[in-house]
Chains A and B, each alone.
Chain A
Amino acid sequence: ETVLTQSPGTLSLSPGESATLSCRASQSVSGFYLAWYQQKPGQAPRLLIYGASTRASGIPDRFGGSGSGTDFTLTISRLEPEDFAVYYCQHYGVSPPYTFGQGTKLEIK
């Protein structure tokens, strides 16, 4: 099983700043199988990025994904008030098919 470790646990920033969120895998994984989700309080997770770097439909271009091997990054530029949420990375593997990082909470400073 591939374990995903996200850092930092909490990130405090102001609107207009840029955020860099990290997701580290316990073993090298294909970027095809790395995705990012956003979850706001009381809501279901929403797909942001798939294939490590491709934005899902309707996702603003201030969201960007990058990385390969064991290190992946979600970057959010020009933070908007609605971007403050919890972000999860996710890997598709063999068993179990889906594993998630523990999440990074992006909060308003």
Chain B
Amino acid sequence: VQLVESGGGLVQPGGSLRLSCVASGFPFKSYIMNWVRQAPGKGLEWVSYISSGGSPTYYADSVRGRFTISRDNAKNSLYLQMNSLRAEDTAVYYCARRVGYCGGDCDTLDPWGQGTLVTVSS
């Protein structure tokens, strides 16, 4: 089971970036997926959630209206389109699979990708 993110980089405030996460080793189309971010030296912040079929989707208040999560199950890929980027969006962005252990009752994130760094700065 592996998740590999890409697409991070340096972008100016107000700019856009699209992150990708390619999954392997499990039936991607059957799993809910998430993006979680971590600002430098800070804790973890959940960003967005997408159901196995692509809908529904959910967003943190801090990114709603600016970020869009999507997936292509045929390509085993998860995406995060980030628009109107701000300095406070600077972070490592992780994709993470939702797993329902305990017969589906214990909701966890497992595994996580290695992350991709997004830096918003002029």
Contacts and interface: CB of A to CB of B under 8 A. Distances in A.
Interface of A: 32-33, 35, 37, 43-47, 50-51, 54, 56, 88, 90, 92, 95-103
Contact of B106 (A33, A43, A96, A102): A33
A40 to B, nearest CB: 12
B19 interface: no
Contacts of A43: 114
B112 A46 contact: yes
A56 B102 CA distance: 11
A88 B46 CA distance: 13
B113 A44 contact: yes
B112 A50 contact: no
B45 A100 contact: yes
B114 A98 contact: no
B43 A88 contact: yes
Interface of B: 34, 36, 43-46, 49, 58, 60, 94, 101-102, 105-115
A47 B109 contact: yes
A84 B114 CA distance: 19
A98 B94 contact: no
Contacts of A35: 106, 108-109
A100 B113 contact: no
A88 B38 CA distance: 12
A44 B115 contact: yes
A78 B94 CA distance: 31
Interface centre among A44, A46, A92, A100 (most CB of B within 10 A): A44
A51 B107 CA distance: 8
Contacts of B44: 37, 45, 88, 90, 100, 103
A53 B43 CA distance: 23
Contact of A97 (B45, B49, B112): B49
A53 B4 CA distance: 29
B114 to A, nearest CB: 6
A43 B113 CA distance: 9
Given A54-B101, A96-B58, A98-B34, A47 B46 contact: no
